[in-house]
Amino acid sequence: FTFTSYVNWKLNEERYNVFLNALEAKIQHNEATERGKALLRLSRTDPLTGLENRRAIDEKLRDYWNDWQKVGTSFGAILIDVDFFKKFNDCYGHQEGDRCLIHVANALSDMIKQYNGSIGRYGGEEFIVLARMEKKEQILDIAEAICSTVENLALTHELRRDGVSIVTVSVGAAFTRTQTGAKLEKIIHEADRALYLAKAGGRNCARLFDPAD
């Protein structure tokens, strides 16, 4: 009886050790998985604003474009540029410049949610919005709402050259359209062209790309 009890005890001890080893391995695996997910999030997130970064937005743009090509799901691309931002930095310093970008990013991020769109920082003082919409007029509505949202923040900017004393943005938008030999980069080029015209038109306004311009 004593020998049998000893054998059973050893077997149970071994089973318990196997269980502990398996549990520890599972915990380590889960921790490694979570670390991997955290690193992936960091690699796709702008460290200043917390928005998606250029890499993440470019990937999303490719997804939107592929859906447009395969099943015709139309979308718009909107480029946003903070007006006279270099002068803002010169006047208030780079720390205040960073705070300005954070305020703008947070306000636009909240606003874009109601349109089920995506927003990212595209570089410097430039942001980008992607949104699936059925009509180009809807994209223009979003672009104009972006201007109003930033203007309503009423962030002081006293060194502008146009008589305005608050932070504003210029916005250029483009919408998917059927054209021969269309490429992914085309819609960004068109949004950039519209942004240029918004700046040339006095800033603090939105323009939708028109092939006739």
Fold (CATH) for 54-208? Alpha-Beta Plaits (3.30.70)
C-alpha–C-alpha distance, residues 139 and 117, integer Å: 11
Question: What is the structure's pLDDT at 37?
Answer: 55
Q: Which residues pair with 119 in a beta bridge?
A: 129
CB 133 within 8 A of CB 175: yes
How much is the pLDDT for 194?
Answer: 97
Strand partners, 72: none
The one-digit pLDDT tens for each residue of the chain (213 residues) are 565 665 566 667 777 677 667 777 776 766 665 665 555 555 789 999 999 999 999 999 999 999 999 998 999 999 999 999 999 999 999 999 999 999 999 999 999 999 999 999 999 999 999 999 999 999 999 999 999 999 999 999 998 888 899 999 999 999 998 775 578 889 999 999 999 999 999 999 999 999 887
Helix residue ranges, H only, 79-119: 85-92, 94-113
Q: Which of 125, 134, 137, 151 is catalytic?
A: 125
pLDDT at site 6? 56
- Rounded CA-CA distance 172/142 in Å is 11
- Residue 124 region by backbone torsions, left for phi larger than 0, else alpha for psi between -120 and 50, else beta: left
- 123 bridge partner residues: 126
pLDDT at 213: 78
Active site residue 125: yes
Rounded to two decimals, the pTM is 0.81
Query: Would you kindly state where each structural domain of the chain is located, as residue ranges?
Result: 1-43, 54-208
pLDDT for res 59: 94
Classified as helix, coil or strand, 31 is: helix
| pLDDT at position 131 | 96
